[in-house]
A and B are shown apart, each in its own frame.
Chain A
């Protein structure tokens, strides 16, 4: 896997995280949490745009035309395949997955690729507030199922210990490999990752996930602009 494919995975996941956050902007547990969900959604959609904008500068844009017709060509995690139905899913994504993506951004900022070092730095300061939000809600307590799922998918997303991300670390593109990324995530959340058995042979290295599936049809339509077209004047 190339660095640009990893950046595309980060961008697709940030885009989906932003969309899922935004879906909770009117149904979070408090008015302040509604506003935070909307603000964090906007942040992550903005981060996705910056990351997509880095692909050309990296010299190898891995996006292919099938992204217009095949939802399975998006590189997002299973956690984002369907809209979240419980606040606990929001909190687990906010605390664990959002922080996992931030830790990877930090690895990019500390790496030797200049375009990533300069363009991604600002994200780290914005993500500080996502982290505070997620950690505080996590301390309030949520069900273990979404939390375990989020941890598992974060570890899968970092990849196997001697895999592609480890190779990018050896090349200097990233300052951390999977072991360091997991350790940093544990340190930030002041928690140990749950013990998970991952079948790396069945793991999809491009989509960085072990489970089949894809973004739901309505969300995929929104990504392609089809939802907006429903409101166009006839004949437009």
Chain B
């Protein structure tokens, strides 16, 4: 059987930051990131990669949807 060839990395991917919390009184905090070509796969990857703890909430955000005010090494204006 022939099959499509895949590289180890998709050609067009986005980086997604993964946020989660264990209790309602905690704020969501960033626990890691995943790389995927779409939101569906990013959700599946985030759940598979970071599900080892008993989170009550998990969310993903495309990194390019985040607005950086300043970054390490830069000063707040």
Most-contacted residue by chain B among A30, A130, A140 (CB, 10 A): A30
Query: A27 → chain B, closest Cβ, in Å?
Result: 10
Stretch at the interface among A82-90, A159-167, A173-181: A82-90
Q: Does B9 contact A (CB under 8 A)?
A: yes
Whole-angstrom distance from the CB of A107 to the nearest CB of chain B?
24
Interface residues in B7-65 by Cβ distance below 8 A to A read: 7-10, 34-38, 40-41, 43-45, 47-49, 51
A133, B44: Cβ atoms under 8 Å?
A: yes
Instruction: Confirm or deny: B66 has a beta carbon within 8 angstroms of a beta carbon on chain A.
Output: no
Residue-by-residue, is A115-159 near B (CB-CB < 8 Å gives 1, otherwise 0)?
Answer: 000000000000001101101110111110110000000000000
Q: Which chain B residue shows the least CB distance to A29?
A: B6
For B45, what are the chain A residues with a Cβ–Cβ distance below 8 Å?
A: 32-33, 35-36, 133
How many interface residues does B have (CB within 8 Å)?
A: 23
Known contacts A32-B35, A136-B38; is A142 also within 8 Å of B4 by CB?
Answer: yes
Contact B41 A137 (CB under 8 A): yes
Q: Contact partner of A143 among B4, B40, B41, B43, CB < 8 A?
A: B4
CA distance A133 to B38 in the complex (A): 10
Contact B8 A31 (CB under 8 A): yes
Asked whether A87 lies within 8 Å of B4 as measured between CB atoms, the reply is: yes
| Contact assessment for B1 and A86 in the assembled complex, using a CB-CB cutoff below 8 Å | yes
Those of A38-53 within 8 Å (CB) of chain B: 38-40
Task: Tell me how far the C-beta of B38 lies from the nearest C-beta in chain A, rounded to whole angstroms.
Answer: 6
**Can you list 18 pairs linking A and B with CB atoms under 8 Å apart?**
A31-B8, A32-B34, A32-B48, A32-B49, A33-B45, A35-B45, A35-B49, A36-B49, A38-B48, A85-B1, A87-B6, A130-B44, A133-B44, A136-B36, A140-B37, A142-B3, A142-B4, A145-B1
Binding site for A on B (CB under 8 A): 1-4, 6-10, 34-38, 40-41, 43-45, 47-49, 51
Lowest 7 CB-CB distances: which A-B pairs, in order?
A29-B6, A39-B48, A86-B3, A133-B44, A136-B41, A32-B45, A132-B40
